[in-house]
Amino acid sequence: MLNHRLNAIVLALGLSVSLPALATNGINLIGFGAESTLMAGADTAFARDTSAPNTNPAGLAQIKGHLFDGFGSLLRTTDLAHEDALNDQHADNRYILLAGGGYAQSLENMPCSAGIGFFIQGGAGAVLKHINTVFGTNDEMSSLFGIAKITPGFGCQITDKLSLGASVSLVYASIEQKFFYDTSNAVFAGYKNEGASAVRFGLKLGTQYKLNDAWTLGASYTEKTELPLTG
């Protein structure tokens, strides 16, 4: 009985301890374009611009007439660094550019709209150009990964409340890596990978259901896309 009580106390104390947690979602951004980003993911239910093929293609049904959107953003890294006994260096790629855009229009004599967009889907990595190595050299350590899409799609108003949509993406991914490539010697082999990439297709399905003027439900399904990088 005493052991059970001690275990319960230890479990309760463990669950009550709050530890810091860090996370990143650089491969799938929270939004695409100003409105999508500021809605922090809520555009799944309220997608209504040319980013809809990449968030919820059912939202294309809300577009009437012709619509063109373009967006761009510049990010600055604040705490991306490498530190060890020989180094204390911030990453050299301090600024990251993201951009995209699209065009959509309603289809004549149909309750549907079609569109196409280009999206920098996301990426991750760091470039450290001047790392002091244990071999007495100064060399580069870097790894960069990125994904971009060209995505056509369509959305149709099935009823006054229900809309459905689908999109197909041409997905391009690439990676570049360097690990002390210029330091290669008899006891150490540096590494460089320039040009590994993959191109694949991906499918997205979406739906939106308008409950009333204040509430809309949305859902989307994205097919798993495998990206075997070669080159």
Which own/partner pairs from 106-112 qualify as long-range (CB within 8 Å, at least 24 positions apart)? 106/63, 106/64, 106/65, 107/154, 110/156, 111/61, 111/156, 111/157, 111/158, 112/60, 112/61, 112/154, 112/155, 112/156, 112/157
- Report the pLDDT value the prediction gives residue 20, as an integer from 0 to 100: 52
- Report the pLDDT value the prediction gives residue 13, as an integer from 0 to 100: 42
Q: Which CATH architecture has domain 25-222?
A: Beta Barrel (2.40)
- Report the pLDDT value the prediction gives residue 11, as an integer from 0 to 100: 45
| pTM of this prediction exceeds 0.85 | no
Q: Where are the domains of the chain?
A: 25-222
Mean pLDDT of successive 10-residue segments in the chain (231 residues)? 49 46 57 74 78 92 93 83 88 85 94 95 85 90 91 97 97 92 84 90 95 90 90 77
Using the structure block, give the residue that is written with the tokens 């197909």: 168
- Report the pLDDT value the prediction gives residue 15, as an integer from 0 to 100: 45
Q: CA 17 → CA 11, 14, 20, distances in Å?
A: 10, 5, 10
- Report the pLDDT value the prediction gives residue 56, as an integer from 0 to 100: 92
Q: Give Cβ neighbours of residue 134 (< 8 Å, ≥ 6 apart).
A: 86
User: Can you tell me the distance from the alpha carbon of 207 to that of 33, in angstroms, rounded to the nearest whole number?
Assistant: 20
Say what the alpha-carbon torsion angle 34, 40, 41, 45 is, to the nearest 10 degrees. Answer: -80
- Report the pLDDT value the prediction gives residue 49, as an integer from 0 to 100: 87
- Report the pLDDT value the prediction gives residue 27, as an integer from 0 to 100: 63
Q: Give Cβ neighbours of residue 119 (< 8 Å, ≥ 6 apart).
A: 32, 51, 54, 100, 148, 149, 151
- Report the pLDDT value the prediction gives residue 110, as an integer from 0 to 100: 94
- Report the pLDDT value the prediction gives residue 96, as an integer from 0 to 100: 82
User: Can you tell me the distance from the alpha carbon of 40 to that of 38, in angstroms, rounded to the nearest whole number?
Assistant: 5
